[in-house]
Structure 1
Amino acid sequence: MSSPTPAPRLIPLLVVLASASVLGLAPILVRLTETGPAAAGFWRFAFALPLLCLLVARPGGEGLGRPSRWMLLAGLLLGLDLSVWHYGIVMTSVANATVLCNLTPVVVTLVGWLVFKERPARLFILALALAMGGAFAMAAAAEGGQGTNPVLGDLLSLSVSLWYAGYFLMVKRARTTAGALRVTFWATLAGLPLMGGVALVLGEDMIPATTAGWAACMAMGLMHVVGQGGVAWALGRLPTAITAVTILIQPLVAAGLSWLIFGETLTIVQALGGALVLAAIMLAQWSARTKTGATPEGVAPA
């Protein structure tokens, strides 16, 4: 019997685009939870866990199994990522917070190249530079007066790129031996106490004041399952650098929603920067077509 044909790259690419678009809801929902920033992350994890458990433990599913060290490290890094980023969302504009934290591709590309031997094509490096240029344009051109402390918020959001890159790389390693839902479940469980601990130490409001706040918390849980689960699935089938560039669609979604919901203006330069990011994503995917079409090493079951 012949071995099954590897899934085409188009499918995981579409999954990443859809997942990143869903994750673009995160900064909007954080502001609507009526809790502290880290507490919002705690409820995100808490509401996601029951659904993840049902999906992993369902008949015919992969089962919970035991977590690998990569899964636990991914959870700790994701907890650090969200703890810092949620404060950035409150202190600066949604567009800035989302764009600056997505400088992740720079870190991911370098580590993937040096550690995992995923050498990027020259055209991909050009796409990465264009994407970063577009991201900086979106952040630098934002109008002032958005958020409680824009400068500190920008710095916090920028630091998140390191934690998010670490999360990406740990998930990539975890996916060599486990499916996406199992990885996402254990990473979420590992990050839950960290998020709760940060919220308590900083004296945040833990409980939403209204039904709308609770609805936002539950929506974050569903968003986490769909968004992070989709990214984890794609990381088993795409190079980390390609995935990291593709999720730059997330700031565009967040910026558009913040304009509609919070009235945060989107300047012409920001709009042009967003268009540049989209063009860079397409260029990065086109550059990948010059590589072998084989499935990445260590692909795990879905």
Structure 2
Amino acid sequence: MSAVSIATPVGVSSEVPMRTAVTQMTIGAMLLSSTSLFVVYAGTAPTVSGFYRMLFGGVMLLAWAAMRGAWRAVAWRDLWMALLPAICFATDLIQWHRSILWIGPGMATLLGNFQVFLMALVGLVFYRERPGRWFVPGMLLAIIGLWLLVGAHWSVFDAQHRLGVWLALGSALAYTVYLLSFRHALKTHAQLSPALFLGLMSLLCALLLWLWGLGEGDSFALHGLRSWSALLALGFLGQMLAWLLMVRAMPRLPASLVGLLLLLQPALAFVLDVILLGRPTSPGDWLGLVLALAGILFGALRPRART
């Protein structure tokens, strides 16, 4: 999962030109849309694919931080601060990767993006952040879209498909707590660069997923070029490159444009699911997709911050 909550930055530097920022943001969102497909192509247990995503991505992020001169010795306090985000992200991946295999990459990614509503509600309740004027209409649109995609067919779904829907929504909840804990750690513990901290958190998350997989009896041995290439791509594209591109681009773009570009992730994931994996769809499904995406966009928008 890799949706990002949108906030309008104030006092942004002009290091990255607008056109370059749009290109970076677009490429980052497109790369994220492919991550759920790699989970399917890897052909491994869901916890195993999550483990290798975090292991490969974490090692690559640490190498990137070292090459950029951002390396510093990691203290026990750094590990402690990264532990809660690692637990939350591991919980997210355990649920999301199962939902990908059970309900398809497109639907799992779309449902995971419902975290924008949870983030807004947390901001309202705990941080007194005023939601945008389109938040309530956006939530209603998303609920209608969700009903067209899921609720209208609920009676024909088997037990595993229904559980996959709930796991995708559960992953949105876990991802919300991850975002909040990750942001809090960076704000209160700025000794590490974001790339170094994310790399450290990724390796901790990989350790937790390895322990969970052992408890499930999963084998972590990889066989064949397809599994290796899919999981290496998952770590490089989804856990490293997409994140680096988007973090560099987001401060240069208006919140509304960021929200629009981020919708490429669930939209492309759904379309690729239809084209590459043969997901059956009806006109009602496409209408539900459009309404859900519109609702997510409206729900993600925030009032412009006052200087």
Matches for 1:72-151 after TM superposition, within 5 Å: 72-140=83-151, 149-151=160-162
Report the counterpart of residue 262 of structure 1 in structure 2.
277
Q: CA deviation at 1:134?
A: 3.0
Closer, same or farther: CA 278–165 of 1 in aligned 2, 3 Å: same
CA contact (8 A) 2:85 2:181 kept: yes
Report the counterpart of residue 61 of structure 1 in structure 2.
70
The more displaced of 68-77 and 108-117 is 68-77
Q: CA deviation at 1:239?
A: 12
Report the counterpart of residue 213 of structure 2 in structure 1.
199
Aligned partner letter, 1:191: C
1:292 equivalent in alignment to 2:305: yes
Aligned partner letter, 1:202: E
Closer, same or farther: CA 261–180 of 1 in aligned 2, 3 Å: same
The superposition leaves residues 165-190 of structure 1 with CA deviations (integer Å, 9 ceiling, x where unpaired) of 11111122233235431232122022
CA-based RMSD:
3.7
Q: Distance in 2 between matches of 1:245 and 1:166?
A: 23
TM-score (norm 2): 0.78
Q: Distance in 1 between matches of 2:155 and 2:226?
A: 29
The superposition leaves residues 8-58 of structure 1 with CA deviations (integer Å, 9 ceiling, x where unpaired) of 8x7878766543432221221111112111001111112112211111122
CA contact (8 A) 1:72 1:190 kept: yes
Of the three residues 235, 246, 271, the one matched with 1:221 is: 235
The more displaced of 71-80 and 98-107 is 98-107
Of the three residues 43, 55, 72, the one matched with 1:34 is: 43
CA contact (8 A) 1:104 1:244 kept: no
Higher helix share: 2
Aligned partner letter, 1:291: R
Q: Distance in 2 between matches of 1:172 and 1:237?
A: 19
Q: Distance in 2 between matches of 1:239 and 1:116?
A: 22
Report the counterpart of residue 297 of structure 1 in structure 2.
none
Q: Distance in 2 between matches of 1:245 and 1:218?
A: 28
Closer, same or farther: CA 233–111 of 1 in aligned 2, 3 Å: farther
Report the counterpart of residue 194 of structure 2 in structure 1.
180
Aligned partner letter, 2:49: A
Closer, same or farther: CA 5–24 of 1 in aligned 2, 3 Å: same
Q: Distance in 1 between matches of 2:276 and 2:159?
A: 18
Higher relative contact order (CA closer than 8 Å, sequence separation 6+): 2
Aligned partner letter, 1:217: L
Is there any run of 5+ residues in structure 1 with no aligned partner, and where? 295-302
Aligned partner letter, 2:281: L
Q: Distance in 1 between matches of 2:11 and 2:133?
A: 28
Q: Distance in 2 between matches of 1:234 and 1:118?
A: 24
CA contact (8 A) 1:136 1:273 kept: yes
Report the counterpart of residue 291 of structure 2 in structure 1.
276
1:23 equivalent in alignment to 2:38: no
Q: Distance in 1 between matches of 2:159 and 2:230?
A: 21
Closer, same or farther: CA 244–181 of 1 in aligned 2, 3 Å: farther
The more displaced of 42-51 and 138-147 is 138-147
Q: CA deviation at 1:244?
A: 8.4
The superposition leaves residues 214-246 of structure 1 with CA deviations (integer Å, 9 ceiling, x where unpaired) of 100101111211234456667889999x98897
Q: CA deviation at 1:91?
A: 1.9
The superposition leaves residues 137-168 of structure 1 with CA deviations (integer Å, 9 ceiling, x where unpaired) of 33446799999921121122221111011111
1:164 equivalent in alignment to 2:175: yes
CA contact (8 A) 1:142 1:266 kept: no
**% identity of equivalent residues:** 24
Closer, same or farther: CA 201–284 of 1 in aligned 2, 3 Å: closer
Matches for 1:39-54 after TM superposition, within 5 Å: 39-54=48-63
